[in-house]
Amino acid sequence: MNKRKLQEIVGVNFLRLGVIFTAFFLISFLYIIFSKGGSVLSWTFFTDFPREGMTTGGIYPAIVGTLYLTILSILIALPLGVFTAIYMVHLAKPYWLMRIVRIAVNTLAGVPSIIYGLFGLTLFVRIMQLEVSLISGALTLAILALPVIINASEEAIRSVPRSFREGSLALGATERQTIMRVIVPTALPNILTGAIISIGRVAGETAPIMFTAATFYSRMLPTSINHEVMALPYHIYALMTEGSKPDQQVPIAYGTAVVLLLLVMFVSATAIIIRYKIRKSRKW
Amino acid sequence: MVKELIKTKNLKLWFTDNYVLHDLDFTVYEKKITALIGPSGCGKSTLLRSFNRMNDLIPECKIEGEILLEGQNIYDSKADVTDVRTKIGMVFQRPNPFPKTIYNNVAYGLQIRGEKRKSVLDDVVEKSLRDAWIWDEVKDRLHTSALSLSGGQQQRMCIARALANQPKVLLLDEPTSALDPKSTAKIEELCIDLKDKVTILIVTHNIAQAGRISDYTTFMYLGDIIEFGETKRVFTVPKDKRTEDYLTGVFG
């Protein structure tokens, strides 16, 4: 066998090994989570409150809490992020401010999430006196989601062909009308994809809400944004670190993990479907 | 008697330090087709884009002199740029329909000026599409995406979109260079048909096209207007050697 052929075989098998390892980790990950958590899954697990010090019952308030936190934080971050992105692409003045914003955005994107938690605790909970509440947590998560949303929106807005802007302006539209009627609608599907991806991220975060919003146990659902809430990721953390009956708590923790995974998978699937539809309709 | 609609006076234009248009005095006659021809980089597209202030979008661009539309300087500090662009419409080299329905593309110009009455919009959309010779092809699918049209249809729809503003002048920036010969022929015929309604200024690389459709021809070279006159005269007895060389293909 000649040398080149040997190199070819070694090379391909090296790549194959990489794929096998990745697949192994992924499959064993899913197997462990689902096999350990699958046993507690039932209809009432989704619809019941936790009972008897977390040892039985469902996780309904944590699902609701995560849903509230996620929706509220995206509602805050999405408009802010889109406005920032529009400004960065189309106004982009003064230059020094743009540089600072860009550095800030990229730095924020790399900050560990526990630091967001400390920041939220200081600014929202203490200084702004919002207490440990749904709104404090949502604001903290919104800041966490902002870099992702800004970057995705900026990319989406930048990829709107220049000719659309020129066409609109040449018809006598103002800059504002051009942005609102042509550029944002054209970029919207891609902006939304970015938002959905950040939903997945926000829903799964524990550290930012630990000091700002989450509670170990709540006897009722939050009825105002000033209430503290239960949340899926924090519920897992609490079940694994507190309480005195690990035998009963651990399966519930894994069950909660399954629910969280399903939630994130569902969200990601939605993102993929939207992206697919955009690509199909993109013809310019 | 032909009427002067646009006059430029001492028009000078720079991109940063690059002196692009050299003190141009130029006239566009009402309800005629004027062709701007010349080799690449001669400034003909830049001149065209000066008429609807599209060069304003380029920060490096500096303009001196006046462009008078019916005696009003469109570069006057009091002039409203959106108003200028409504009166002087433009169609680009590549068809650029918005990713909206055909109807909403054509109605765009009215909608941004706040027109909401459906009957008015319906009428203008139909009339503009008819004037641009595309009504019969699209009347049954007005509410489908404009991106589903062919290139030639898109360009005619863009002409309709510009006509919906009832402009006095239509600027065409090499409108057929991205199209096949059949679509090109159709747009050329359309231009001749439109000149009863609107004054047309067309930039073209295609010398034969300028000969076929224009009443007046301007030959530009390196930022200067070398020759201007009735197309027949410019094409048969050019005064300047450079015009003759360009028209006969000595350079291009």
Residue A12 lies in a domain: yes
A160 and A187 both lie in a single domain: yes
Interface check for A175 against chain B (CB to CB < 8 A): the answer is no
Average pLDDT rounded to a whole number, residues B54-68: 93
> What confidence tens digit (pLDDT) does each residue in A91-115 have?
888 889 999 989 999 998 899 999 9
| Whole-number percent of chain B with pLDDT over 90 | 93
pLDDT exceeds 60 at position A283? no
pLDDT recorded at residue A282: 55
- Average pLDDT of the residues in B218-237: 94
d(CA A83, CA A95): 17
Residues A149-163, mean pLDDT to the nearest whole number: 93
Give pLDDT, residue A199.
Answer: 84
Residues in chain A: 284
Please give the tally of structural domains in chain A: 2
**Interface A:B, Cβ pairs < 8 A:** 66
**Would A46 be classed as within a structural domain?**
no
**B9 pLDDT higher than 60:** yes
Name the residue type at position B140: D
Give which of A197, A235, A196 is closest to A213, Cα–Cα: A235
DSSP string, A12-41: HHHHHHHHHHHHHHHHHHHHHHHHHHGGG-
Q: Which residues of B touch A162 (CB under 8 A)?
A: none
- Across the interface, whether the CB atoms of A164 and B98 are under 8 A apart is answered yes
A21 and A91 inside one domain: no
Answer yes or no: is A154 within a domain. Answer: yes
pLDDT digits (tens, 9 = 90+) for B147-180: 999 999 999 999 999 999 999 999 999 999 989 9
Q: Which residues of B touch A (CB under 8 A)?
A: 52, 54, 57, 82-83, 85-86, 89-90, 92, 94, 96-100, 108-109, 111-113, 145, 147-148, 158, 161-162, 165
Mutation site for A-interface testing, chosen from B98, B144, B166 by largest number of A Cβ within 10 Å:
B98
Q: Write down the pLDDT at residue A224.
A: 86
Question: Is there a domain that residue A45 lies in?
Answer: no
Residue A139 and residue A221 in one domain: yes
Mean pLDDT, residues A176-191 taken together: 90
Considering just the CA atoms, what is the radius of gyration of chain B in Å? Answer: 18
Is residue A48 in some structural domain? no
The CATH number linked to A107 is 1.10.3720.10
The whole-chain average pLDDT of chain A stands at: 89
Same-domain status, A137 and A270? yes
* Amino acid residing at A280: K
Residue A192 covered by a domain:
yes
Cβ neighbours of B137 (radius 10 Å): 16
Q: Which residues does A231 contact at the CB level (< 8 Å), separation at least 6?
A: A62, A65, A66, A69, A137, A206, A209, A213, A214
The model's confidence at residue A270, banded by pLDDT at 50, 70 and 90, is confident
CA–CA separation, A29 and A33 (whole Å)? 6
A14 in the same domain as A81: no
Give the mean model confidence (pLDDT) for residues A7-13.
93
A30 and A138 share one domain: no
CB contact under 8 A, B92 and A163: yes
Condensed to tens digits (0 to 9), the pLDDT of residues A235-259 reads: 999 989 887 888 888 889 999 999 9
Omega prior to B95 cis, within 30 of 0:
no
Q: Between these two residues, A265 and B207, which has the higher pLDDT value?
A: B207
- Please indicate whether, in this complex, the C-beta atoms of B96 and A171 are within 8 angstroms of each other: no
**What's the pLDDT band for B252 if we cut at 50, 70, 90?**
low
Do both A64 and A205 map to the same domain?
A: yes
Residues A19-59: pLDDT tens digits?
999 999 999 999 999 999 888 888 888 888 888 777 788 89
Task: List the single residue in A with minimal CA-CA distance to B50.
Answer: A170
Q: What is the pLDDT of residue A272?
A: 80
Instruction: Tell me: do A19 and A142 sit in the same domain.
Output: no
CA distance to partner chain B, nearest, from residue A220 (Å): 47
Tell me, yes or no, if A186 comes closer than 8 A to chain B by beta carbon.
yes
Same domain, A124 and A174: yes
Query: What is residue B229's predicted lDDT score, i.e. its pLDDT?
Result: 94
B207-222 pLDDT per residue, tens? 999 999 999 999 999 9
In sequence order, which residues have a C-beta less than 8 Å from that of residue A243 and are 6 or more positions away? A53, A54, A55, A249
Q: Give CA angle at B102 (B98, B108), nearest 5°.
A: 60
Whether A51 is in a domain gets the answer: no
Residue A113 domain boundaries: 57-281
Q: Report whether pLDDT(A63) > 70.
A: yes
Give this prediction's pTM: 0.81
Residue B92 pLDDT greater than 50, yes or no? yes
Tell me, yes or no, if A182 comes closer than 8 A to chain B by beta carbon: yes
pLDDT value for B210: 95
pLDDT beyond 90 at B63: yes
Longest dimension (CA), chain B: 56
Q: Any residues with CB less than 8 A from the CB of B106 and at least 6 apart, and which?
A: B124, B125, B128, B129, B157, B160, B161, B164
- Write out pLDDT tens, residues B116-131: 999 999 999 999 999 9
The predicted structure's pLDDT at residue A281: 63
Residue B189 predicted with pLDDT over 60 = yes
- pLDDT, position B24: 93
Claim to verify: residue A177 and residue A205 sit in the same structural domain = yes
Q: Are residues A224 and A256 in the same domain?
A: yes
Residue B13 has pLDDT above 50, yes or no: yes
Q: What's the average model confidence in pLDDT over A176-205? A: 88
Q: A173 vs B86: CB contact, 8 Å cut-off?
A: no
Q: What is the pLDDT of residue A284?
A: 45
**Which of A207-216, A273-282, B42-51, B88-97 has the weakest average pLDDT?**
A273-282
Tell which phi-psi region holds residue A243, choosing left (phi > 0), alpha (psi between -120 and 50) or beta.
left
Query: Same domain, yes or no, for A188 and A246?
Result: yes
Residues pairing with B21 in the sheet:
B13
Considering only the beta carbons, identify the residue of B85, B100, B145 that sits closest to A170.
Answer: B85
